[in-house]
């Protein structure tokens, strides 16, 4: 719905201006003017003493859904390296493309990144759209969203998938707004409805207490961001080829409103939970941050990495980059050790798809045991040293 001013009735009293919660109304020549920030909330309609503002129904042109074809994956790269989540999206995208009977495509942006197209072909892309320009060397919202939106407008993909990374979570909503379509964020499952071929997008809702399945019935493209570590990675086929399509890239003055002055990388250990085959995670059952030293010993012995629950991060015991869960990283290792972790639903959302889950907890009724493949009831400060001793044998 929208609102419009009946000029014959308007007295220019400014009451609508004062009551508009979005500052969308001005007075021009003693007549109210509705600005672009109007949301059609109707507050002005209720407060106009002269009945000079009314609600009107906006008629939108129907979208020709049949003109949209293809599954696109945003091939996020940093420093000339394809991010691991892209390989997961290509694996999932291949399944979706097969079910809807279309191509799997990747869209790649950057500077001097044409060599990455071969890697995308090897992981299953049938076509790679590439935008190579110096302005795209580092991610900036304005630059990337402009280039990809123009490509979407021209080639009309049916489905667009992005990783729920820092970049994907910024880029996805911007593209959705430009395309006048919806976006389902942080998806953990994607599937095609066998009846109408629409994509069903499933994500945690209400703090992870239930799963919501969302569809986009009337607009295209259908867009999703997908959590890293949730989907199976695509298989690599050396020498596989596809079609390379170069995108026209042109920026005018004012198109890009930001400038990268410097890039400062955080010093210290860099943790990559999504790539780890073995994770030893700790919760508040550790008692204090010194407990992570013990977990580190086990992780080092097994060739894995440590992780933590949100409570440990909130307590300041460990950096947020180690957090697993709904508000942290989603992981899918071969073995996940949950040490002193109770098993709150928010944490389970980030690790329950691990191949094997080993839970160590003093509380035999802890919810973590309900999802664990192996459970050890006991003090982790006794159990883990015993495991380390056995591994030394």
pLDDT in tens, 132-153: 999 999 999 999 999 999 999 9
Widest pairwise Cα distance in the chain: 92
Which pTM was predicted?
Answer: 0.70
Rounded to an integer, what is the distance from CA 381 to the centroid of its chain? 37
pLDDT in tens, 358-385: 999 999 999 999 999 999 999 999 999 9
User: What is the chain's mean pLDDT, rounded?
Assistant: 90
**What pLDDT is recorded for position 17?**
92
Residue ranges of the annotated binding site for FAD are 309-310, 323-327, 340-347, 361
Rounded to an integer, what is the distance from CA 266 to the centroid of its chain? 22
**What pLDDT is recorded for position 61?**
63
36-40, 67-71, 268-272, 338-342: which has the minimum mean pLDDT? 268-272
- Is 273-392 the same fold as 2-56? no
pLDDT surpassing 60 at residue 267: no
**What pLDDT is recorded for position 208?**
61
CA distance 46 to 33: 16
Average pLDDT over residues 39-64: 84
**What pLDDT is recorded for position 393?**
56
Q: Residue 44's closest CA among 59, 55, 29, 36?
A: 55
Q: Residue 147's closest CA among 180, 110, 104?
A: 110
pLDDT in tens, 311-328: 999 999 998 889 998 878
| Strand 127-132 versus strand 243-246 pairing type | parallel
CATH 3.20.20.70 is right for the domain spanning 65-246 = no
CA distance 377 to 219: 52
Higher per-residue confidence, 331 vs 393: 331
pLDDT surpassing 80 at residue 243: yes
**What pLDDT is recorded for position 266?**
62
Q: Residue 133's closest CA among 246, 243, 242, 245?
A: 246
**What pLDDT is recorded for position 321?**
86
pLDDT in tens, 194-221: 888 899 998 877 766 678 899 998 889 9
Residue with tokens 């599937």: 191
Residue with tokens 């696109």: 72
Residue ranges of the annotated binding site are 309-310, 323-327, 340-347, 361
140-149, 232-241, 271-280: which has the minimum mean pLDDT? 271-280
| Strand 199-205 versus strand 305-308 pairing type | unpaired
Q: Residue 344's closest CA among 311, 371, 318, 367?
A: 367
CA distance 169 to 187: 12
List of residues 6+ apart from 176 with CB closer than 8 A? 182, 183, 223
Q: Residue 227's closest CA among 158, 297, 274?
A: 274
- Dihedral sign for Cα atoms in the order 235, 124, 71, 193: negative
3-class state of residue 106 by DSSP: strand
Quick one: pLDDT band at residue 108, thresholds 50, 70, 90? very high
List of residues 6+ apart from 259 with CB closer than 8 A? none
**What pLDDT is recorded for position 66?**
83
**What pLDDT is recorded for position 273?**
85
Beta-bridged to residue 56, according to DSSP, are: 2
3-class state of residue 83 by DSSP: coil
360: Cα within 13 Å, side-chain hemisphere: 23
Residue with tokens 């010993």: 297
Cα angle 329, 334, 338 (rounded to 5 degrees) comes to: 60
Average pLDDT over residues 3-28: 91
**What pLDDT is recorded for position 256?**
87
Are the C-beta atoms of residues 332 and 229 closer than 8 Å to each other?
yes
Tell me which CATH code domain 273-392 carries: 3.40.50.1220
Cis peptide before 221 (omega within 30 of 0): yes
Average pLDDT over residues 47-58: 88
CA distance 280 to 94: 32
Average pLDDT over residues 15-23: 90
Q: Name the percent of the chain lying above pLDDT 70.
A: 95
Helix (H) or strand (E) holding 142: helix 141-155
Tell me which CATH code domain 2-56 carries: 3.30.70.20
**What pLDDT is recorded for position 287?**
93
Quick one: pLDDT band at residue 253, thresholds 50, 70, 90? confident
**What pLDDT is recorded for position 228?**
83
**What pLDDT is recorded for position 83?**
92
Residue with tokens 């410097």: 262
pLDDT surpassing 90 at residue 229: no
Domain ranges of the chain: 2-56, 65-246, 273-392
Average pLDDT over residues 252-275: 76
**What pLDDT is recorded for position 236?**
93
């Amino acid at each position: 719905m929208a609102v419009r001013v009946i000029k014959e009735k308007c007295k220019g009293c400014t009451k609508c201006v004062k009551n508009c919660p979005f500052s969308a109304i001005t007075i021009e020549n003693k007549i109210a003017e509705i600005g672009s920030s109007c949301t059609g909330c109707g507050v002005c309609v209720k407060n106009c003493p002269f009945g000079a503002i009314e609600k009107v129904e906006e008629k939108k042109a129907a979208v020709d859904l049949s003109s949209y074809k293809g599954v696109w994956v945003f091939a996020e790269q940093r420093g000339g390296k394809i991010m691991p989540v892209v390989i997961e999206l290509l694996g999932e995208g291949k399944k979706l493309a097969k079910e809807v009977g279309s191509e799997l495509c990747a869209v790649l942006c950057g500077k001097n990144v044409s060599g990455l197209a071969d890697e995308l072909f090897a992981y299953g892309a049938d076509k790679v759209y590439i935008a190579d320009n110096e302005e795209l060397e580092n991610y900036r919202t304005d630059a990337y969203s402009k280039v990809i939106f123009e490509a979407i407008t021209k080639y009309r993909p049916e489905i667009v998938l992005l990783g729920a990374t820092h970049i994907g979570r910024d880029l996805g909503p911007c593209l959705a707004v430009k395309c006048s379509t919806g976006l389902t964020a942080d998806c953990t499952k994607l599937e095609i409805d066998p009846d109408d071929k629409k994509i069903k997008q499933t994500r945690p809702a209400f703090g992870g207490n239930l799963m919501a399945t969302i569809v986009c019935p009337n607009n295209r493209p259908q867009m999703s961001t997908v959590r890293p570590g949730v989907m199976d990675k695509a298989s690599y086929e050396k020498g596989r080829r596809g079609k390379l399509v170069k995108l026209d890239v042109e920026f005018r003055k004012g198109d890009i409103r930001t400038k990268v002055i410097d890039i400062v990388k955080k010093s210290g250990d860099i943790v990559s939970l999504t790539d780890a085959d073995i994770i030893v995670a700790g919760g508040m059952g550790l008692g204090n941050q010194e407990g992570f030293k013990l977990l580190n010993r086990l992780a080092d012995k097994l060739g894995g990495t440590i992780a933590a629950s949100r409570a440990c991060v909130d307590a300041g015991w460990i950096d947020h980059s180690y957090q697993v869960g709904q508000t942290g990283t989603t992981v899918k290792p071969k073995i996940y050790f949950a040490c002193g972790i109770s098993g709150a639903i928010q944490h389970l959302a980030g690790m329950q798809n691990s191949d094997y889950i080993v839970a160590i907890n003093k509380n035999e009724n802890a919810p973590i045991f309900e999802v664990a493949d192996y459970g050890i009831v006991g003090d982790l400060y006794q159990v883990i040293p015993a495991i380390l001793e056995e591994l030394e044998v």
